[in-house]
Structure 1
């Protein structure tokens, strides 16, 4: 197996940057840079530690082009020593970070799990499930939500230990736990059956409906066993719209570089609330920018942090080395219920159940004030300071004299040099000094080929083409073809047949480079499979003209090698037959187009 190191370039495209720990299996995982599309990716090494059939599972997973699921970008098979799977590297913040300032309202939490459930149902139609939804499986960026972990768990064979029915049940319960966490900051270990009962959401979070409480609290407590699939979860969920999704700051997060926050030192002012990042285990760093697994605790000893973080002070954390070690295991539900009186969206704060045993979040006693110094001591110190200042040495005068001498010396030297005659330079007829080698011989003049500027192809814009129709193949989305964002895509209109319902013979995309350059290959990152496309050396005015440089079908990340390098500033992708997307529709779905 080829050993990767920082700086290694895989298949002349993915430059390895750093090795990261896998939260899913013992597989080797690296962060890498896609040099064609200038994006960060995760690169999984498929070796003997990964169960057989990983590449086939990766190709099956690559058929998922759902916008809210981190997807497979590339499947590389160069023999037994070079097998890799490349996936998206998520950007944004995890759930714990998203609720660090304030927990989500019931409407926001409902919209989040509703969006995720909708996407998981689309994946389940392809026979794929997540199997371990945690607070760190979900990333927020603006008002978009993306779930991670589905791809590596299926590709690396982690889900092979469970039946489809078990995975569907785990996903449904995972959505209930995620909703509960977003509103309270407490993540239930929903895989276990011996958890202590959770308090009802209707008692601690304002605005929670009985239906939502039954879908979260009752499911996690085991009193509601009617929800066994993600589809049943979505049907029982309260009504929601995408407009209800929370707006989260667009920030890239690498969780492995996060560190648990320091305990708040004792201060007489009101205590501060800890960040939700304390919900992560301080000893187990999740995969940076990928699908890190949280370390949920049983409710009997739940981790307190983030939106559920208590009021912290040094005296209120007995025998605890970090916020994540604190628990409210013996407080019952009395302390938790105190959060019911807080306004909506405010992180619940927990109070101790007894005065004899202060819990995490108890107020610390006000530190006793330090005795002020005696007046005589202050007077003695002042007198000592005054006596020392009498013997102090002021060096300012000497420094000024020193620099004045330097200035005068420089002035006289300048006048002497200006009065010295100069020798004329030996100039060739071209007006430039004759270049001479160290041995006295003249340097040879550079040839014309050596002075030519090497221009690498760089995509500037793309334009959808429909010359035989109404030029309305979603031109409002055409900028997505070259925006460098692999989560957004352009798509054509849907037709009844791959032959455009006999309405036309083809549609296309014009790709324009920043300047004229030599193109040897074209890369199309697509969510469609099949169809027929031609790469033509032409432009939007004559899309069916020009020489055909390459042709073929789409298959996820498709690399078209041109028959011969072409020097051009524009080329056209002309589709004579439509491919099919993951839903079986006759339409083109493209994330990015690049050239090399």
Structure 2
């Protein structure tokens, strides 16, 4: 506890640095000083890209309670910003494939992973960087998926993959699940991936798993064929349904410590057997005792130890005769004992090495079923644990995601010196830019003056600006026009039909680049009435509404009612959506809540029957 370096609020302490898996985010082994548990701490620096998005995704990941997902315990936004997660343990999926795993176990692991990703998707979180190294199996058979939400935010995959398509993220995770399923069944990757042999292709697509490995369930073949033939699953939930039922995931037993204890016990037993030989003559008893103590540290197998033991017994049987001999005979006895003990040690050393190797091989952890394909390239992430002591070497965990990431080396120079140099450089650059801009303005002004072009209107007498009586009667005077009414201030929006309530803030946030959307349905009226309530800061007359980011068709009602009674109140306007932006005007009605009731879904830009809205403004 005293060796931990406090960080942030002081509740957590750093114990050591772990290998980097995300660009410009430093991982540490840590400890929670209040709950006294090991944790992994991600430290975000000023150089961390997409910092706000990473912290936002981590905050949402705290709310996901599925035990198959790596837990995010805490998020601290103050400097330095940290994310506290559950430590990684167990064996990675690539390690299990390299050891050999049955098709039924592959199906079970992928099924559990798909259900875990579906739980995250219901909270608006997607992985988008799923790899065999992100899936682990614990000794008890539990499946653990790491990196949900955080990796996608750190690598900006939401914008790169999803874009304006709200279903693209779900499809990306579903395809990654099928690719890992194919890898687990065949030991080959259905494409190109470093360190994994590629699957053979037929007709431009990977061959079915049953072509490479006999005995594959046709259901798994069909899932892979659908994915490559243009009818892929659209979500992790659909992958889980397509897999059907699966057996429990089997755990494993790590008996390395047992093997070490067994080897030590064998050594002690062999040493006790060697030390049980009878002593030689009393004149050589002290010398032989020291020789036996030195030989007891080198255990030997009984069959190989027999010559030395027999020799010692022959010496012991000659004890009465030696007792009667003189000093010269005693000296010969000691020399004989030394040669015998040296012979025993020489025989014991190779026996010890061979015995230890055999015992360790017998004690190595084994799987019950070893019937699947074997990956010829072993994984370096076998049995990786982030709770290892500081003195133990930490195995490398290189990033093997589906997208190239440029891992910049962290600068080891003093932080204050680096910031000072950065500020100086920034100031010089800004000064040069200002000088250039000022010079350009003067140059353009002189050129325009030479060309006779003026920046200002010509001077005009004040009387010329006053309209005449005729102009006033005809309405053509210079009088000011009545100002347009200011937009109504909206305080919030709420999804009343449980259609993506986590996205409801996008309806009135002033940003038209992010949209709220409903689920799609083959029947435009299949979802029933979908209601959205827009709340005003105070009751005000409303005479129009603009709905941005809409599809084409369907039907929507504009009602002056409350969020408690969305189907009541007065219908102010009703009609279909128009592509891009939908506008309704009606008689001014004073209200503090406007409710949109979508009775039929329009057709969105991607061809599905679903409603999409980026912004709602009232007039």
**Pair in the same fold by TM > 0.5:** no
Judging by fraction of residues, say which structure has more helix.
Answer: 2
TM-score (norm 1): 0.39
Greater radius of gyration (CA): 2
Query: TM-score normalised to the size of structure 2?
Result: 0.38
